[in-house]
Amino acid sequence: MKIIKLITPVLFVVLTLSVCAASAQVKKKVVAKKKPATTVTKAPPPPFATDAEIADGKEMISKSDCLACHKIEEKLVGPAYTLIAAKYPQNQNSLDTLTKKIVTGGKGVWGQVPMAPHPNISQADANKMIKYILTLNTKNPSTSTK
């Protein structure tokens, strides 16, 4: 009888511990399974332009002939870049329109003086130039419909 009295509490403790350990393991597994699903579904939309693209665009503009006709904040032969940024929202439509304008030129949007064509500038490079110009105005976010 004495031995049973001694063993019973010990057995009880051992049993309780093993049940706890088992349920803790189950919990861990559930948490580990859930994690990837939540990160995949909530991916944020890509930004209009990355810092690298903006830096590239700025450098290419300074190396091309753009600054002979454009200033950042004042009208020269062409409109100020900040005015262009205020006119066009940061979206794909603006990118397409303005990229084309750099490569093929054109007139009539800001006056009758034509924007010089640049057939030697690639679409990809022109895209970065536009990304730099349009991010000069931070008050004109991609949600604007102007």
Residues that bind ligand HEC (CB under 6 A): 61, 64-66, 68-70, 77-79, 84, 98, 101-102, 106-111, 113-116, 118, 121, 129, 133
- CB-nearer residue toward ligand HEC: 28 or 75: 75
- CB-nearer residue toward ligand HEC: 54 or 98: 98
Per the CB < 8 A criterion, the answer to whether 78 and 70 are in contact is: yes
Per the CB < 8 A criterion, the answer to whether 113 and 107 are in contact is: yes
Residue 51 Cβ, how far from ligand HEC at the closest point, in Å?
19
> Please, what is the Cα angle at 37 between 31 and 41, to 5 degrees?
145
- CB-nearer residue toward ligand HEC: 64 or 82: 64
Expressed in percent and rounded to 5, the helix, strand and coil fractions of the chain are 60, 0, 40
- CB-nearer residue toward ligand HEC: 55 or 109: 109
For residue 33, give both structure tokens. Answer: 């399974």
Q: How far is CA 51 from CA 104, 111, 121, 128, 132, in A?
A: 27, 32, 21, 10, 9
Closest CA to 110 of 76, 146, 134: 76
- CB-nearer residue toward ligand HEC: 54 or 115: 115
